[in-house]
Structure 1
Amino acid sequence: MAGSLPGMSWPIYFKDRLIVGDLDSNVGVATLWMPKESVAAQLPQGSYSVCGQLYTKRGINPLLRNILANPKIAYIVLCGVDRQGSGDALLTFFNKGITGDAAGQGWRIIGDDEALLDKELPLDALELVRKNVEIFDLRMKPLEQVSAKITSLKKKRAFAQPQTFPESPMPKPTGYPSDMSVFKVRRDYIGDAWLDALKIIHRFGVETPGMYGKVKQVHNLCTVVEKENAREPKIADFMKFNRESLDKYVKGFFDKDRGSEHYTYGERIFAWDGVDQYAHMVRKLKGFPYDRGVLAILWKPHADNNPPANVVNAEGTSQKGWTVPCLVMILGQCIGDDFNMTAVFRNNDVYGAWPLNAFALRTMQQDICHEIGKNLGSLTTIAHIAEIYEIDWEDTAKVLAANDTLARFCQYDARSYYTVDVDGSDIIVKFFSPNGAQQLAEYKEDGKRPKVARDLCLMAVKDMLVSDLGAASDLGRQLAKAEAAVKLGLKFKQDNELAK
């Protein structure tokens, strides 16, 4: 419901992100992607009421709410670079109007399929703005022209009484945007890696139909395990099996006798039509540890692509009762004294199967290391389709809520560590190999320069010196403190608070 606003502090939305000028002015300036500071600096003092950026179409809602709360705003001057179409959408709102959203989620701007205006804003209030506020399109125009337009505008009275309306409830996200392919997990132990893999699918997974109901899935989940000892497995309390059941699973994983089953992994690895692929892998590694052909294939094209007629539906896709390998390839190579192994899954039940699969594959990797006299390197699994079945969604959320703690995210970066120092006005950042044996890079910049911390961060990113998000976040934090110390005349010491 609309209401009067005695003693209101305006703007009521995003005041801390706006430049407030003369509140008696009729002019609001939307600079889109151009820095608002750059625009405001070129405008006559007192010539505008508020100046701010409008990055996205979603920002149109607070803009309209601020106008309704301060109906002295009679003009919107649109300027700057329109990178995401927010300027187009705002102009379309004024030129074409709105229509109801079919799903009842809000108002649609006619001619724009993306912009959604809050349903809490009534139609008559939105029409009041459209009819009484003029918008001027000065996108990509020189700021001198923007300034001239603003100073030419005539003074007007408020077109209505101030109004505010209920906030839109914050919707709970059902999924999160992602790049949809190649999700990387790197952990020392399988249990920690499992939590990360579950979280990736739980958060970014797309719901799709599966053979046994709906699944959430992502493409190309790459999980690296570095320190797990399969002989003495580290079975976390939150995992769904104990040592006895794990040993039983691993034994069955490598069983060469498939009995009545269509396949077993052991049969495909050790006895594929009389071929022992494991033995060939060991033989090649003993002959040349850098051999590019050390692999085992578990998919039989002539058999696995042709299910019996009684388990094929009308569209020709296999149904329940027909099982084919999820694990389709195992590869390995030595780097120095370490033997690294990679396993490729066409699809992988990450909740129920992946941790067991990983322990079994780690066992195989350790067996090969023993036979060829090499150290145990990393185990990498790549799941083309990494999925969680609908029946496991609820428990996945519970496992993550109970065990995904902040302490898990303090870990080393496999590429480097760094030091940040201040010498006079210079900020110096050095990168070293993880073992400290080699300096990899050094950057020195004048800390008095604008945005120097940002530039130093980008140098490190450009040279690919940081791979861990936690390490990158800390680097940005340390460099920001160093820049503040130089500019404020304070003392800087890495990992400490600034001092006088």
Structure 2
Amino acid sequence: MTFSPLHFGDRLEVINPAGTMGIVTLWSRVDHVLRVVRDAGIDLSSKTSPVAAAGTLYGNGLREMLRNLLHNPQIDTLIVCGRDRSGSLEELTAFFERGVEPYDNPHARYEPVEGFGTPSCVRIRGTSRILDDLVTPALFRRPPTIVSFWPLQDPDVRDELRSFVAGYRPSPPPTPERIVVPLPRVRITSFPCNPREHTIRAGDPLTAWKDLIFTLHRFGVPVRLAKGERRELQNVKVIVEEPREIPEEDLVRWGYDPVHLRRYQEAILEGTCSEDETYSYGHRLRTYFGVDGLEEAARRLREDPEDRKAYVVLWDPRRDLQAAQGHPCLVSLFFRRFQERLTLTAVFRTHNALDAWLVNFYGLLAIQRHVASACGMDPGAVTVVSQSISVDTTQMDRAAFIAAERSFRYREDPMGYFRITVDEEAIVVEHRQGDFTLHTYRHPKSSRLQHEIARDCAVSDINHALYLGRQLARAEACLREGKPFVQE
């Protein structure tokens, strides 16, 4: 039986197809390792070497490597001699020694495979490596012997490797048949992220809403609630810098009725609750607690524009923690003057992103304008914090349509900008805001400047950060080569 890889055949260095050993170089370059092995006096001839092939193993190729081994049962030994930067050696050995365990991967599912059913996710015990369950240790009638020799720079290690290969004797495989296990296709359900740190900033509410739907569509985590399956994120913060009504034609395009939104704005300021309602926002804000929260907030700000007690709550623990139904989603409002304008921060306990977020935002516009007028300020930014925000999975096609609208747009980083020059000795980076230099960084290595700028949290926009990285790399190359540098 000769070596015949199913996967990564173009990346493997085939030495002797009739060999029964494999060399795994992990993160080290294959050509470098083979040169050292050859110099150590180990036979790598294409006709007589016991080594069939050599290749890397960064970690993500483990699924393919296991399938290659099943397809080549004559390979009984794996010699590992390379630098292990990601724990891939531990994962390889743990697969055979500890086995796998079921793992519920929230970000991906496997598509059905003809003849094999629908694979499930498993995890190699004691590691974080996720695989499909089509290949398990039980399929290997004879697991390969795994031996490690590192560092090869050590003469004693090279001597041990030479002695091991000299004493090696191949053994016939317990079954001569090749086993072919297909690689299942992965269906991404959500992209990995920290589901509690998303912040969206936009100039207007429509752009903010579309960015919010994009974020949920891409990063929302599948959950099963009492109401059904949802894609959820937690503690999402949306900042709308210039809150204003959306043009009616845009509202209609996205399925919203302008008349309904105007009526909602009127209703949210009313302090009544009809008999067929368990609660209303206006009632909770203006009547329920025996005080008109909006008028009291305005009064405090009139008396002291820097007052920080203009805080209104809608959640009643005595009732809402025990009631079976009728729980307000909007739970608090905080009014605060900032740069001579009245800002509003609203916290929602739960939020339906597709159908409720924009409607609720229109209500917040009415509330903010009412309080701003009563205390003599102009309205400023509105921040909406959604502690749990989700999309019904049955509406993901609609969410995908909205998410597809997202396109690149340039925005200035509120942290400032950078002016980069090069002198005879170093890269000089001025962190600026307007006409002022906030700080000057200086070093010949762009990597050092990268770490210093990151340490100071001087960049907040990912596009800005990528641009800065490109310019620093160019500046370092110009400094090294003695060429003039001009920032793009």
TM-score in terms of structure 1 length: 0.76
Aligned twin of 2:429? 429
Structure 1 position 393 matched with structure 2 position 404? no
CA–CA separation in structure 2 for the residues paired with 1:66 and 1:400: 39
Alignment deviations for residues 172-206 of structure 1 (CA, whole Å, 9 cap, x no partner):
11223222323211111111111222222223323
What CA RMSD, in Å, does the superposition of the two structures yield over aligned residues?
4.3
Aligned twin of 1:301? 317
Structure 1 position 12 matched with structure 2 position 9? yes
Distance 1:70 1:210, change over 3 A: closer
Q: Work out which of the residue numbers 273, 285, 292 in structure 1 matches 2:301.
A: 285
Query: Structure 2 counterpart of 1:395, which letter?
Result: R
Q: Is the 8 A contact 1:96 1:109 kept in 2?
A: no
Partner-residue secondary structure (3-state), 1:387: strand
CA–CA separation in structure 2 for the residues paired with 1:104 and 1:3: 32
Aligned twin of 1:105? 119
Alignment deviations for residues 84-108 of structure 1 (CA, whole Å, 9 cap, x no partner):
4x32231234557789999863897
Alignment deviations for residues 302-350 of structure 1 (CA, whole Å, 9 cap, x no partner):
333343xxxxxxxxxx2xxx32211010002112313221101111111
Distance 1:62 1:428, change over 3 A: farther
Q: Is the 8 A contact 1:228 1:234 kept in 2?
A: no
Aligned twin of 2:438? 440
Alignment deviations for residues 198-221 of structure 1 (CA, whole Å, 9 cap, x no partner):
222223323334454332222111
Q: Work out which of the residue numbers 224, 239, 249 in structure 1 matches 2:239.
A: 224
Aligned twin of 1:206? 221
Query: Structure 2 counterpart of 1:458, which letter?
Result: H
Q: Return the offset for 1:255.
A: 2.3
Distance 1:69 1:189, change over 3 A: farther
Q: Return the offset for 1:354.
A: 0.8
CA–CA separation in structure 1 for the residues paired with 2:7 and 2:355: 54
Q: Is the 8 A contact 1:185 1:223 kept in 2?
A: yes
Query: Structure 2 counterpart of 1:270, which letter?
Result: R
Q: Work out which of the residue numbers 186, 208, 227 in structure 2 matches 1:171.
A: 186
Query: Structure 2 counterpart of 1:264, which letter?
Result: S
CA–CA separation in structure 2 for the residues paired with 1:388 and 1:489: 55
Alignment deviations for residues 361-417 of structure 1 (CA, whole Å, 9 cap, x no partner):
12322333333343432211111111222342221122212x122x24x22212122
Partner-residue secondary structure (3-state), 2:236: strand
Q: Return the offset for 1:473.
A: 1.7
Distance 1:280 1:373, change over 3 A: same
TM-score in terms of structure 2 length: 0.77
CA–CA separation in structure 2 for the residues paired with 1:116 and 1:238: 43
Query: Structure 2 counterpart of 1:474, which letter?
Result: Y
CA–CA separation in structure 2 for the residues paired with 1:294 and 1:372: 11
Query: Structure 1 counterpart of 2:119, which letter?
Result: Q
Query: Structure 2 counterpart of 1:200, which letter?
Result: T
- Which has the larger displacement, 381-390 or 163-172? 163-172
- Which has the larger displacement, 372-381 or 281-290? 372-381
Structure 1 position 475 matched with structure 2 position 468? yes
Query: Structure 2 counterpart of 1:428, which letter?
Result: V
Partner-residue secondary structure (3-state), 2:186: coil
Note the 1:70-81 alignment, pairs <5 A.
74-78=77-81, 80=83
Query: Structure 2 counterpart of 1:358, which letter?
Result: F
Q: Work out which of the residue numbers 305, 311, 330 in structure 2 matches 1:327.
A: 330
Distance 1:242 1:29, change over 3 A: same
Structure 1 position 382 matched with structure 2 position 377? no
Q: Is the 8 A contact 2:222 2:230 kept in 1?
A: yes
Aligned twin of 1:60? 62
Note the 1:236-315 alignment, pairs <5 A.
238-260=253-275, 261-307=277-323
Alignment deviations for residues 110-159 of structure 1 (CA, whole Å, 9 cap, x no partner):
8668656667779899556x34xx42245799855544434444367998
Q: Return the offset for 1:431.
A: 1.6
Aligned twin of 2:486? 493
Q: Is the 8 A contact 1:289 1:334 kept in 2?
A: yes
Query: Structure 2 counterpart of 1:437, which letter?
Result: D
Aligned twin of 1:311? none
Aligned twin of 1:149? 160
Structure 1 position 454 matched with structure 2 position 447? yes
Please, which runs of 5 or more residues in structure 1 have no aligned partner?
308-317, 447-451, 496-500
Distance 1:186 1:23, change over 3 A: farther
CA–CA separation in structure 2 for the residues paired with 1:144 and 1:348: 64
